[in-house]
Structure 1
Amino acid sequence: MTDLIFYDTLRQGMWVAVEISTPILAVALAAGLTVGLFQALTSVQEMTLTFVPKLLAIVGVFWATMGFMTQSLVSYFDGTVVPLIVGS
C-alpha cells in the first residue's frame, strides 16, 4: 500500500465521519441555542433544562438517521476498505 492510497482512504473515512455526524451536531447546536435563549429570556437557570431537551433531540435525530449512517458506513467499507484488505 502506497502513501497515496493510505492518505486517500483516510481522507474518505474522515469525510464519511463528517457526513455521519453533521445531522446530530446540527440538532445539538440548534437545541442548545434554543434552550439558552429560553433561559436568557426567562432567567431560569436550571441545569436539567439544558441537558434533557438536547439529549432528547440528539436521540431522536440519531434514531431517524440511523439508516443513513449505517448505509454510509457499509458503502465506505464495502467500496474502499474491504478491497484494500483483500488486495484487489
Structure 2
Amino acid sequence: MMSEALFYDTLRQGLWTAFVISIPILTVALTAGLVVGLFQALTSIQEMTLTFVPKLAAIVGVFWITMGFMSETLVDLFQTTLVPIIAGG
C-alpha cells in the first residue's frame, strides 16, 4: 500500500514534470499571440484566422523541436518514480 507521503511526493513530481514540459509551448503560444495581436492592432485587420493559424504553426514547430526533451523528461519520471512504485520497490 502506498503511504500518504509517497503519494503526495509522486503527485508533486508529476505536476512539476507537466509544468516543465509545457513551458516551451505555452511561452511560444503567448509570444505568437502577442505579436499577432500587436500586428492586428497596428494595421486594424480583424481577421479571426490571422490569430489562429500563426499561433498553431508556432506551437507545432516548437512541439516538433522540443519533442525529444519532452520524451526524455517523461521517461525519466517513469523510470525513477513510477516504475519502482509499480514494481513494489
Same fold, TM-score > 0.5, yes or no: yes
**Structure 2 residues not aligned, in runs of 5+:** none
TM-score, normalised to structure 1, is 0.99
Which SS does the other structure have where 1:8 is aligned?
helix
Aligned residues: 88
State, as a whole percentage, how many aligned pairs show the same letter.
70
Name the CA distance, whole Å, in 2 between partners of 1:40 and 1:17. Answer: 34
TM-score, normalised to structure 2, is 0.98
1:56-75 superposed matches below 5 A: 56-75=57-76
Q: Which amino acid aligns with 1:60?
A: G
Which SS does the other structure have where 2:62 is aligned?
helix
In structure 1, the partner of 2:42 is 41
Which SS does the other structure have where 1:44 is aligned?
coil
Are positions 1:12 and 2:25 aligned together? Answer: no
In structure 2, the partner of 1:87 is 88
**Structure 1 residues not aligned, in runs of 5+:** none
**Poorly superposed stretches of 4+, deviation over 6 Å:** none
